[in-house]
Amino acid sequence: MSFRIRENLQKFFVIGISYKKTAIETREKFSLQPEDQTNILDQASGKGIESLVVLSTCNRTELYGFSSDPDAIIHLFLSNCNAKYEDFITHGYIQKGHDAILHLYRVASGLDSQIIGDFQIVGQVKNSYRESEQKGLINPFVNRLFSYVFQASKKVKNSTDISKGASSVSHAAVQYIKDNTEELDKANILLFGLGEIGKDTCVNLLKHMHNRSLTVVNRTLTKAENLANKFDLHFAPIEDLTSEIQKADVIVVSTGSSKATVLPKHFEGKKRKSLVLDLSVPRNVSIDIEDNPYVEVATVDILSQSISKAMKHRHNAVPQAVKIIEDSINDFYGWLEVKNLSPVIVALKENLEKIKEKEIEYHKPKLNDLELEKIEHISTNIVNKIARACISHLKDNHKKHSSPIETLEMIFRENEN
């Protein structure tokens, strides 16, 4: 790999925090609401940052940047969340170059997910990428990189068994409910919050329920009503949240709020057991509820642990997925090399064309029009064949040379005299 490309690679980095190193009570400090992500992008455009993609999920908050100053992005990140610089130094991470690229591939392909093979993440990455693209924060390097990443993710999903079984938090939630509810068909289930995870959980629950004892509540009533009408479910306004919680055996919370939306007061006087699943980061179920002896609370961390045994077979597909990623990264590096050679190839063609024109000009007085036409045709074919051979050779062997354009200049310099 040429020095210029290695230099560019070092400008690509990822900074972030994830479940691997940090528990949920710390991760939620770094969580970014949609308006926070938009603020970061708006502020980044005025700081000379070429590219920036912001991803915030229940398991990670990461920023993928292309810049000579990652520290500026770290401070931009921290100024829009509830964490301090000391928190990031203790729990966060920075990766550059190849390590950052490999990390992005693993995230988008479900290999770095808390639930391995969770392909819900790639949709979240695509949404984040599109928002950055709309803000004009995607340069050619990042554009092509993410294109290769999305292609590899699709191939991993379609060509391996890594996504078999529960593949997301919503799937894990349904499995947990099945394992911890004696009679699922008789249980009254309340789904509070209809974001992406909430809707997925609803759809997955209905695959395992023969009745329709499921009620949906959302801060926007029309969203609850529309989903209820689509699947023939019950719905209720948020003003009835307390009464719905009182009736429910299982409560799934995914409101995407920056603070707790399900509070101890909602359970006051309730004497029947309740299973509460909090699928949100930051947690939307107050931690004080865990003191209630009638309530069992499961967070996304607990859900992941509960299905770890069932997920073991997915690990058998990891080597195949890794090979797909390695091949894609090599293809991306190949594109970088060819892109880096573009000025060299242009210089090669220009020099060959100059030589041809110089020679034709020298012999032109000795040729009639027909001979000149033939000579031009033959010489053009020769130049094109030489150019193709040289270009092929450059693509195969330029890694051995620190400056291929200097080599070409040296080859053709004496022909200009």
**What is residue 218's three-state secondary structure?**
coil
By C-alpha distance, which of 411, 395, 415 is closest to 345? 395
The Cα–Cα gap between 75 and 94 comes to 13
Inter-axis angle of helices 70-78 and 34-44, nearest 10: 140
By C-alpha distance, which of 326, 399, 330, 345 is closest to 4? 399
H or E stretch covering 247:
helix 241-247
81: annotated active-site residue: no
Selecting among 58, 81, 202, 390, the annotated active-site residue is 58
The Cα–Cα gap between 153 and 140 comes to 20
H or E stretch covering 229:
helix 221-231
Task: List helix spans (H) across 253-368.
Answer: 300-306, 318-363
Burial of 92 (0-12, 13-18, 19+ CB in 10 A): buried
Edge-to-edge strands of the sheet including 295-298? Answer: 234-236, 214-217, 189-192, 250-253, 274-278, 295-298
- Is the separation of the CB atoms in 267 and 289 below 8 Å? yes
Q: What stretches of 32-171 adopt beta strand conformation (E)? A: 51-56, 60-66, 93-96
- Is the separation of the CB atoms in 85 and 33 below 8 Å? no
Rg of the chain over CA atoms, in angstroms?
29
- Is the separation of the CB atoms in 312 and 143 below 8 Å? no
- Name residues whose C-beta falls within 8 Å of residue 351's C-beta, 6 or more positions apart in sequence: 408, 411, 412, 415
Q: Could you count the other beta carbons within 10 Å of the beta carbon of residue 20?
A: 10
Q: Kindly list the catalytic residues.
A: 58
